Amino acid sequence: MKTRSRRRETLREQFRAHKALTVVYFLMRLAVLLVLVASILERDYHAVFYCLITLLLFLVPTFVERRIKIEVPDLLHILILLFIFAAQILGEIREYYLTFPYWDAMLHTITGFLAAAIGFAFIDIWNSSEHAAMKLSPLFAAVFAFCFSMTVGVLWEFFECFMDLTFHTDMQKDTVIPAVSSVLLNPEGHNVVVTVPVEELTLGDVTFDGYLDVGLRDTMKDLFVNFLGALVFSVIGFFYVKKRGKSRFLRQIMPRKKTENTERK
């Protein structure tokens, strides 16, 4: 009985300390479970797989906190949960990637933002370590976080290309281009670009009013918005470190090393 009472009291304390996070986490899991049940009844096993992956990904922030000893602030934790839900449930199952043209770009921007946050967490852990030979400057932390985020973005594009080439998926979405500009189209063979309009392209029974670019522009767009997200967080992180974490808003989105006084979720 005492053990149960302690557990209940612990849960109450956790709820009082993290009300918004607890509510969002509960609603997200409930929504995924409802989609999972509906997918099972409809025998849509593709959707079932995405639901299971989503539930697993929801546990990542908590796993990081408990195993790697990094405190994930509630606001950042909520952003991560919403991002996972938007990418897997809304994007893949509800086909928001097709319904809303800028859905993918929005998620890649958030990816750049969150990856930069992880990069800053690495530097914070280093600076907080008793064994660190030197403390890294705020400028170095910002540059490292930016480079880390861009590296993650590039590796993800490599993964998308690998999946498309190996398993014939369409992760790198195609773009219809009305004209082609190339030196190969120069009739005299000179290194001078010639632009030729594409009036019609037929693939099987489907006709396009232009050239079908196979993923190049989509990849460049993804990397560009990842760049924007990484840049924004790197600038925010620079001022956070510069001001020694005095900003209340920045403390809500900046991961940091756990201490003995840090409350666990």
pTM for the structure as a whole: 0.87
Average pLDDT, the chain: 89
Helix/strand/coil (H/E/C) assignment for every residue in 11-33? HHHHHHHCHHHHHHHHHHHHHHH
Which pLDDT does position 245 carry in this prediction? 61
Residue 112 contacts residue 149 (beta carbons within 8 Å): yes
259 band by pLDDT with thresholds 50, 70 and 90: low
Which pLDDT does position 130 carry in this prediction? 73
Looking up tokens 């697993």 gives 56
Residue 257 token pair:
């090393």
Which pLDDT does position 247 carry in this prediction? 66
Using one digit for the tens of pLDDT, what is the confidence trace for 101-149? 899 999 999 999 999 988 988 888 888 777 777 888 999 999 999 999 9
Residue 96 token pair:
């928001």
Tell me the one-letter amino acid at 64. V
Cβ neighbours of residue 23 under 8 Å, at least 6 residues apart? none
Residue 207 contacts residue 201 (beta carbons within 8 Å): yes
CA atoms within a 13 Å half-sphere pointing along the CA-CB vector of 26: 7
Q: For residue 62, what are the CA distances in angstroms to 70, 76, 96, 114, 195?
A: 9, 12, 27, 16, 53
Using one digit for the tens of pLDDT, what is the confidence trace for 166-197? 999 889 989 999 999 999 999 999 999 999 99
Residue 200 token pair:
């019609």
Quote the DSSP letter at residue 168. -
Quote the DSSP letter at residue 207. E
How far is the C-alpha of 224 from the C-alpha of 150, rounded, in Å?
Answer: 9
Which pLDDT does position 41 carry in this prediction? 97
Q: Which of 105, 142, 104 is nearest to 123 (CA)?
A: 142
Quote the DSSP letter at residue 183. G
Q: What is the DSSP string of 31-98?
A: HHHHHHHHHHHTT-HHHHHHHHHHHHHTTHHHHHHHHS-EE--HHHHHHHHHHHHIIIIIIIIS-HHH
Using one digit for the tens of pLDDT, what is the confidence trace for 7-33? 666 667 777 778 899 999 999 999 999
For residue 221, how many other CB atoms are within 10 A of its CB? 16
